[in-house]
Amino acid sequence: MLLLSSLPISDNTQLVLDVAVCLVVVVVIARAYCPRSKNGLPLPPSPPNWRLMGHFLPPRNPFLTVAEWIDEYGPLITIRAGTEKVVIIGRYKAAVDIMEKRGGVLADRPPMSAGQMLTGGMTIAFARTGDRFRRMRRALHTHLQPKAAEAYQPLQMLFAKNTVLNILDDPSNFQNHVISYAVTTILTVTYGKATPTSAADPEVRAVRQLMSVFRTVLRPGAYWVDTIPWLRYLPWYGRKLKREFESNRKLFANQMNRLRHQLQSHVDVGPSFGRYLLENEHLLGLSELEMHFLSGTFFAAGSDSSAAAICTVLMAAACFPVEQAKVQAEFDAVVGRHRAPTFADQQSLPLLCAFISEALRWRPLGPNGFPHRTTKDVIWASENYCIPAGTTVLGSHWAISRDSEVYPDPDVFQPQRWINDQGRLREDLAFFVFGFGRRICPGLHLANRSVWINSVLLFWAFQLTLDPTKPLDDMGFMRVEMPHVSCPIVFTPRVSDVELRRIMHNYPEVE
């Protein structure tokens, strides 16, 4: 039998083969570059790019590059990460029309192989739509609905009081004090942990390291494995991701096993999310590993985001003293200086709520957004674009926050934009602090209360100013780089130290 390689190939045949290979290459390139969907409608426009790995986004503050593209090419753009197309939404109306109104179609996540390696596919943040996601989401939403979150308010007041006293004693380390508040609160809510927790504790350092890697994983094109998925099966690839998974698997298991042992020993640990999972294990249908990672993800994400949000509000107060003074004047009129405000005062302090909303628009958390994936074609009639099924979609929080049609003079800090003519909070204006649609952060009610109680107590207790002799990185908290953000806030008590300590000593505690 003749071997194929021994058969003579005429010049014409060789030419045909060469042309065929070229056509295959052209088709592959066209599929990667040509922005058009199967139904003939175009994808959103794409900035010019001829890089093999797709559009270049700088590792530091990539959202600024995206915002420039949005300004130039329109409310939706298409970029390429490897051979995958990514649609980025950068304007408010488009986010409402697509991410909110079509939330069911965008509830899925892209495969994100690096994220799967980091979490073993066990975290709800990366879970694809399906049975596991529904079971995890049901458990979270049942325990963290507004009424359930309200039950933790006494604990939040107690821990926020400690933040005031810690800053009074050691103001230069305010970032660590805020982190301590956040992790103490979230550990109590998640696992019922009663002992104080600090930013230096090993468990806190471990989950903050996880969240640092987590944020890198979310950046399009950060890992080759997201373009070449089979890399994850190579033993030498992604060792750091695999080590992080093993480290956090042990940490989350230890936390839940400690709680399980306490419950079996009839220790009164109080209510917690972990206790809810363990006591309803048979109803929720979650495996042991799923419970460990569900509670662990809540612990990790909740501590980071709450601390960053609180620090952002404090930085805004120091940067904009005139607006801070307006809020404090409202405090003096409603609360006075003879007592500290509580959650009972919340409805009477709309200027603070407006200030917080503006601070989290001015410097939004997660400015790059979190990837979603379409399960059906999405046609945006306003521009006659089609986002095909299976496309990764990002809502750019930074670009949306700069939408001048919704937020006039978007680079100007204006809390008044959130107040209506009657002096109340506007109901027709919002910002997507906690995400979009069915993927909105389930811990938002708890987080909102944490941000509010810390802001109200610290604004009431201190005058916040910037030290002009030291540099300010006003984007550091968006990157969640605490406690190393250059933010030199000076805290000056608004009442005497003795009086402030007396008021805090008598401040409402857990019954």
Binding site as annotated, residues for heme: 441
> Which residues sit opposite 385 in a β-bridge?
380
**287 CB contacts (<8 Å, ≥6 apart)?**
none
Q: How far apart are CA 338 and CA 38, in angstroms?
A: 67
Please report which helix (H) or strand (E) contains residue 373, including its range.
Answer: strand 372-373
Nearest to 86 by CA among 105, 66, 101: 66
Q: Is 333 helix (H, G, I), strand (E, B) or coil?
A: helix
Smallest CA-to-CA distance from 124 within 365, 301, 389, 366 is with: 301
Which secondary structure element, helix H or strand E, spans residue 385, and what is its range?
strand 385-387
Q: What is the number of alpha carbons within 13 Å of residue 269 lying toward its C-beta?
A: 24
Rounded distance between C-alpha atoms, residue 55 and residue 79, angstroms: 6
Q: E strand or H helix at 361, and its extent?
A: helix 350-362
Residues 374 and 380 sit within 8 Å (Cβ to Cβ): no
Residues 22 and 407: their CA atoms lie apart, in Å, by 50
E strand or H helix at 489: strand 489-493
Phi, psi of 491 (to 5 degrees): -105, 115
Which residues have C-beta within 8 Å of that of residue 331, sequence separation ≥ 6?
341, 349, 352, 456, 459, 460
- Angle at which helices 288-319 and 321-334 pack, to 10 degrees? 100
Say how far apart CA 265 and CA 168 lie, in whole Å. 39
CA distance 511 to 504: 16
Q: In one letter, which amino acid is 128?
A: R
